[in-house]
Amino acid sequence: MTPLHAKLMRDLWRIKAQAAAIMVVIAIGVGLQIMMSGFVSSLTLTRDAYYERHQLADIFAPVVRAPNYVESRLADIPGIRTVETRLNSMASAKVDTREFSISMQVLSLPLHGRRHLNEVRLTQGRMPDAQRPDEILLLESFATAHGILPGAQLEVTLHGVRRWYSVVGTAQSPEFIYFAAPGEFIPDDARFGVIWMGRPALAAALDLEGAFNEALVSLLRGANKDAVLDQIDQVLDPFGAPGSYGLEDFASDRFLSEEISGLEVTSSTVPPVFMMVAAFLLYIVTSRMITAEREEIGLVRAFGYSKREVAAHYLELALFIAVTGAALGCLLGVLLGRAMVPVYTTYYKLPFLLFRLEFASFASGLLLSIAVATLGGVWALRGIFRLTPAQAMRPPTPPDFSHSISFKKGVFARLDQPTRMVLRRLMRQPWRMLGAVIGIASGMALSLAMLIIYDGFDVAIDRTFNVVDRSDATVSFVQNVPSRTIYDLSGMEGISQAEPVRFVPVVFRNGLRSYKGSITGLTPDPVLHRALDKDLRPIALPERGIVLSTPLADVLDVGVGDTLMLEIREGRQQTVVTQVAGIAESLLGAPAYMDLDALGRQIGEPNRFSAAYISMRDGSQSEVYADLKDMPAVAGISLRSEAEEAFQRVMDEGAGSARFIMGVMAFAITFGIVYNVARVAQDESARDLASLRVLGFRHSEAAFVLLGELAVVVLVALPLGLWMGTGLSHLIAQGFSTDLYQVPVVFAPKAYGSSISVVVCAAGVSGWLVQRKIRSTDITLALKTRE
């Protein structure tokens, strides 16, 4: 070991606590990068492989009923590689563990031996026998949630007919990676399931023999998707088609893709903040060391060491810290990644998910750390090489404060001397202080923004489930029902109120912008489910015109008074022009509202309803269930409280760990900065502090001079952090809000409080450590050492 290396090792040992704090900041930055980019690639690769292996369709084309021969007309459309048709219906199933039936989607399986689209992945048991109409395959997550094994019997009501089916196997499908009960957004394995059965049996049950009600299409490479979608719509229009759509509009794929792109954005924005903070810390630590060793540097240069050798020595120190931090970060990233796999597989039903350590992200993390260390080190070394060895060996002159402010006038004249020392030191090193302020504020902003977003989710849940929707349950019908059915519901003993609703699939168009969605027809002055404006006041639905939710108005780029084209995909399938009469707030989905009667007239089907919102009298749930069971028109019932609970569960699990991680991150950054700035300031002012002690200042009074500086830095950083965090939360909310869900930014006192306490706490801990160090310093030694 060369003498310089021995010195390096001893220097590292001496600054071990500071070095450790910097390593932690780097480790978190690199760890997050590795974890997130690892998931981006793991999720992308798994998804793509799953889609490819199981031939997930590129286009889904639902239709009311099209004869089988239409399939060949679809196949003739240029750009299409494969067309396959199937039957797709809703049903309900009864399981022992629940009082009321559960909504199920039923899909037909093609005949055996034929290569087909949307192939299922058998996880248990066997495929149903085409000759056995009672054999079904069940979605694995649903089967697991209810403990149903192959061999069990399941009571299913299909097209109004109740019968028992034998479960012969369980399966996963690339169609159902992320899925929720109809009208909901959060997965709840127990409340939504999928049944696959042989096509002949399903066709018989649905009265769709010789016909299909959904076409799946895969495209040739390079095909023009929009043109194909148009042509498919043209072919299927006469058979009652609500409009075909691509995989990108398919909910499961949308959610997964949004997750991946969200991770991509976060992985490219959050880790660099940590690395910038680390570069700043390495700079102040290295530059402090270089300043303190200025005479030694002059000496070794006088001995004949080159600038490069001296520079290499200090760079090695910075690099050692950075590379060790990066290695720890790699380990942290892999551990975090592995720990997150079960979280992902709970919500995303992938056949497998292996966390991959991306070599590229490891390499980029390492390179970034090296760059950070070099940047910090070289910046610190500049000053030394401007001096000749002879100049460097002479002690530096005392720092010049003569350009500092004079404090002679006004309130300044009343400041005591220790306060003046604090203020002048702050002003003498504005860039270092600014760096510290910005660093602390960034760490705080990161955590605060996420906390605000999570508070926003809480508000979204409350608004969606308690303000917009005040019903106890939604009763959905097998087919649209007349007013009489609603009267029947209202007349039930346990139901205090029933409000009909009509959902009509529609394509909204404004010029080149379009959106496939649906119109919700509500009764005048509804009580249970309302359209609300931005101040949460109910909007009276006009007799003419349509009320759009904010995200829908944004997608279509329209405002109140603008006209809009509606391609109604039901009934007479007409196209109408209407005016935007109002804008409603919505946090889930992108609904549009119309007056129920006006909507009925528009589609030529007055007084027909798709569902009803009901409120139940206290304790009458079982009674209502029993009554509804006897109504053949009822397809299912969805309890608002269950949907809210599912949402809340996800938030609690996700938010709980996110709050913890964000807290740790903000703490690490603040601690790293405050501790390092304090230690460096302590080194620099060791003589001053000892002099103060000699002059009769108490520990606390001497510590004030040092810690007062840091208190100012933290106090300035707090409001800046609050401001940056709030701003960042708006950016994140904008980035995350889609037509699927909107993230509101709310005033979140709790989030502000927590982030402030984390920063203050971290500052307090580092302040305490530093003042302990001051206490243990021998004051007579400090007076003798000379810089």
Partner 1 sequence: MTSAHDTDINHAFKVQDLTKTYGEGHSAVHALRGADLEIGDGEIVVLLGPSGSGKSTLLNILGGLDRASSGTVQFRDQILTDLDDRGLTNYRRRHVGFVFQFYNLMPSLTARENVELVTEISENPITAEHALELVGLTKRIDHFPAQLSGGEQQRVAIARAVAKQPDVLFCDEPTGALDSATGRAVLRVIQDVNEALGTTVLLITHAAATAAMADRVIHFADGQIQKVELNKNRVSAEEIHW
Going from the C-alpha of 499 to that of each of 284, 529, 614, the distances in angstroms are: 67, 8, 6
Q: Pick the closer one to partner 1 by CB: 131 or 406.
A: 406
Cβ at position 438, least distance to partner 1 in Å: 24
Q: Pick the closer one to partner 1 by CB: 254 or 687.
A: 687
Binding mask 369-398 for partner 1 (x = CB under 8 A): ----------------------------xx
Cβ at position 387, least distance to partner 1 in Å: 18
If one counts every other C-beta atom within 10 angstroms of the C-beta of residue 537, the result is 10
User: Is position 698 an interface residue for partner 1 (rule: CB under 8 A)?
Assistant: yes
Selected binder of partner 1 within 7, 132, 338, 420 (CB under 8 A): 420
Structure tokens at 499: 């409000």
The answer for 536, left when phi > 0, alpha when psi is -120 to 50, beta otherwise, is left
Cβ at position 299, least distance to partner 1 in Å: 21
Stretch of 159-167, 212-220, 292-300, 399-407 contacting partner 1, by CB under 8 A: 399-407
Separation CA 280–CA 274 (nearest Å): 10
Pairing of β 211-219 and β 161-172: unpaired
Q: Pick the closer one to partner 1 by CB: 480 or 771.
A: 771
Cβ at position 418, least distance to partner 1 in Å: 7
Separation CA 69–CA 81 (nearest Å): 17
Stretch of 71-79, 282-290, 416-424, 646-654 contacting partner 1, by CB under 8 A: 416-424
Helix (H) or strand (E) holding 627: helix 621-629
Number of residues that bind partner 1 (CB under 8 A): 34
Cβ at position 714, least distance to partner 1 in Å: 20
Q: Pick the closer one to partner 1 by CB: 240 or 418.
A: 418
User: Is position 780 an interface residue for partner 1 (rule: CB under 8 A)?
Assistant: yes
Selected binder of partner 1 within 240, 351, 418, 606 (CB under 8 A): 418
Stretch of 66-74, 316-324, 404-412, 474-482 contacting partner 1, by CB under 8 A: 404-412
Write the DSSP assignment of 279-317 as a string of letters. Answer: HHHHHHHHHHHHHHTHHHHHHHHHHT--HHHHHHHHHHH
Selected binder of partner 1 within 2, 72, 131, 402 (CB under 8 A): 402
Binding mask 640-679 for partner 1 (x = CB under 8 A): ----------------------------------------
Q: Pick the closer one to partner 1 by CB: 535 or 778.
A: 778
Selected binder of partner 1 within 342, 511, 696, 749 (CB under 8 A): 696
Helix (H) or strand (E) holding 515: strand 513-522
Structure tokens at 287: 């530059």
Structure tokens at 248: 């990108």
Helix (H) or strand (E) holding 499: strand 495-510
Selected binder of partner 1 within 258, 264, 488, 701 (CB under 8 A): 701
Separation CA 290–CA 602 (nearest Å): 80
Q: Pick the closer one to partner 1 by CB: 138 or 686.
A: 686
Diameter of the chain measured on Cα atoms: 103
Q: Which of 97, 280, 82 is nearest to 189 (CA)?
A: 97
Going from the C-alpha of 322 to that of each of 12, 34, 358, the distances in angstroms are: 12, 16, 19
User: Is position 786 an interface residue for partner 1 (rule: CB under 8 A)?
Assistant: yes
Which 267-326 positions form the footprint of partner 1 (CB under 8 A)? none
Selected binder of partner 1 within 626, 697, 730, 765 (CB under 8 A): 697
Q: Which of 297, 438, 276 is nearest to 373 (CA)?
A: 276
Going from the C-alpha of 198 to that of each of 88, 127, 128, 134, 637, the distances in angstroms are: 12, 9, 7, 9, 27
User: Is position 776 an interface residue for partner 1 (rule: CB under 8 A)?
Assistant: no
The alpha carbon dihedral of 717, 723, 726, 731 has a sign of negative
Q: Give residue 516's Cα distance to chain centre.
A: 24
Selected binder of partner 1 within 20, 265, 459, 783 (CB under 8 A): 783
Length of the chain: 787
Separation CA 412–CA 395 (nearest Å): 33
Stretch of 22-30, 168-176, 418-426, 667-675 contacting partner 1, by CB under 8 A: 418-426
Q: Pick the closer one to partner 1 by CB: 769 or 783.
A: 783
Going from the C-alpha of 744 to that of each of 262, 467, 529, 536, the distances in angstroms are: 17, 15, 20, 13
The alpha carbon dihedral of 109, 113, 116, 121 has a sign of positive
User: Is position 416 an interface residue for partner 1 (rule: CB under 8 A)?
Assistant: yes
Separation CA 452–CA 459 (nearest Å): 10
Separation CA 41–CA 59 (nearest Å): 25
- Whether residue 230 contacts residue 86, with contact meaning beta carbons closer than 8 Å, is answered with no
Stretch of 132-140, 283-291, 411-419, 623-631 contacting partner 1, by CB under 8 A: 411-419
Separation CA 119–CA 108 (nearest Å): 11
User: Is position 405 an interface residue for partner 1 (rule: CB under 8 A)?
Assistant: no
Selected binder of partner 1 within 388, 404, 466, 479 (CB under 8 A): 404
Cβ at position 448, least distance to partner 1 in Å: 34
**H helices within 3-107, ranges in order?**
3-14, 16-53, 70-75
Which 66-105 positions form the footprint of partner 1 (CB under 8 A)? none
Q: Pick the closer one to partner 1 by CB: 1 or 695.
A: 695
Which 421-480 positions form the footprint of partner 1 (CB under 8 A)? 421, 424-425, 428
Which 675-694 positions form the footprint of partner 1 (CB under 8 A)? 687-688, 690-694
Q: Pick the closer one to partner 1 by CB: 186 or 690.
A: 690
CB-based contacts of 476, cutoff 8 Å, min separation 6: 103, 182, 610, 611, 634, 635, 636, 637, 638
- Whether residue 570 contacts residue 510, with contact meaning beta carbons closer than 8 Å, is answered with no
Cβ at position 680, least distance to partner 1 in Å: 16
Separation CA 684–CA 576 (nearest Å): 77
Cβ at position 399, least distance to partner 1 in Å: 5
Q: Pick the closer one to partner 1 by CB: 512 or 695.
A: 695
User: Is position 406 an interface residue for partner 1 (rule: CB under 8 A)?
Assistant: yes
Q: Pick the closer one to partner 1 by CB: 417 or 466.
A: 417
Q: Pick the closer one to partner 1 by CB: 67 or 396.
A: 396
Cβ at position 777, least distance to partner 1 in Å: 12
Stretch of 82-90, 235-243, 258-266, 403-411 contacting partner 1, by CB under 8 A: 403-411
Stretch of 376-384, 597-605, 672-680, 695-703 contacting partner 1, by CB under 8 A: 695-703
Cβ at position 433, least distance to partner 1 in Å: 14
- Whether residue 599 contacts residue 543, with contact meaning beta carbons closer than 8 Å, is answered with no
Selected binder of partner 1 within 97, 224, 234, 417 (CB under 8 A): 417
Cβ at position 389, least distance to partner 1 in Å: 23
Separation CA 596–CA 608 (nearest Å): 9
User: Is position 401 an interface residue for partner 1 (rule: CB under 8 A)?
Assistant: yes
Selected binder of partner 1 within 413, 512, 577, 695 (CB under 8 A): 695
- Whether residue 354 contacts residue 42, with contact meaning beta carbons closer than 8 Å, is answered with yes
Separation CA 559–CA 548 (nearest Å): 9
Cβ at position 783, least distance to partner 1 in Å: 6
CB-based contacts of 66, cutoff 8 Å, min separation 6: 85, 211, 212, 213, 215, 236, 239, 241
Which residues of this chain interact with partner 1, rule CB under 8 A? 397-402, 404, 406-407, 416-418, 420-421, 424-425, 428, 687-688, 690-699, 701, 779-780, 783, 786
